[in-house]
Amino acid sequence: MIWIELETASTEPVSLAELKTFLRLDRDDEDALAGTCLRAARQAVEAETGLVLTERRVRLAFEVEPAQDEIAIRRRPVRALIGAVGYDEVGVATPLDIASFRLEAMPFGARLILPPGLAHRAQNGVEVEIRAGQAKAEVPDALKLAIIRLAAASFETRGAVGSGLQPAFMPPLARALMSPFRAPRL
C-alpha cells in the first residue's frame, strides 16, 4: 500500500511561536529554518509512532488479491472515507461506491473492509481517499514536547548538518516521550 499526501498540514501541533519560546529565540530572521525544523520533527514523530498528528486528506493506492476482503491501514487515526476509484485491466479509472466499503477503527490503525468482487472490477488496483489525523487540541502534550525537543535539536545542529538531513539525531528525551505511543511490533 502506498500512502500519498494530498494536503500539507494546515496547522502544526506545535506553533512556531512555541518553538521560538523554547529556543529563547527573539529574532525573526531564522523563522523559515525553525519552521522547517518543526515540520521535519512532526514528520519524524509521525513515522516513529504511526500517528497522523495533523488533519489532512491522503490517498491510499493498493492492489487487491482475488480472495482479499480487507486492507490494514497502519497509521491512525483514520477519520472517514471520502472517495474510491478502481482501475480495470487496461487502466481505465472507474469511480467506486464508497458506501460499499466499510472503515473500522482498530487500536493501532484501521481496517478497510472491501466490497465483494473488487479484485475482478479493479484488476490494476484501487485508490481510496481518506481523511486522517488529529486536531491540534487532540495531540498529547508528550508528543508536542517530543516535537519541540526534536525541532530544537535540529535547529541547534543546523551548522553541522544541512536542513535536508534533519532531524540528524533523536534526543533520548524525545524518544522516551514517544515510546508509549508506538504501535507494538511483532
**Tens digit of pLDDT for each residue in 53-68?**
999 999 999 999 988 9
pLDDT value of residue 83: 96
For residues 51-85, b (16+ Cβ closer than 10 Å) or e, as one string? bbbbbbbbbbebebeeeeeebebebbbbbebeebb
Q: Which of 45, 63, 7 is nearest to 180 (CA)?
A: 45
What percent of the chain is predicted at pLDDT more than 90? 77
User: At residue 164, does pLDDT exceed 90?
Assistant: no
Distances (CA, A) of 96 to 102, 121, 130: 13, 10, 14
Q: What is the pLDDT of residues 102-147, one digit of tens each?
A: 999 888 889 999 999 998 888 899 999 999 999 999 999 999 999 9
Q: Which three cell numbers stand for residue 133?
A: 489525523
User: At residue 97, does pLDDT exceed 70?
Assistant: yes
Distances (CA, A) of 169 to 47, 77, 100, 151, 183: 14, 27, 44, 10, 21
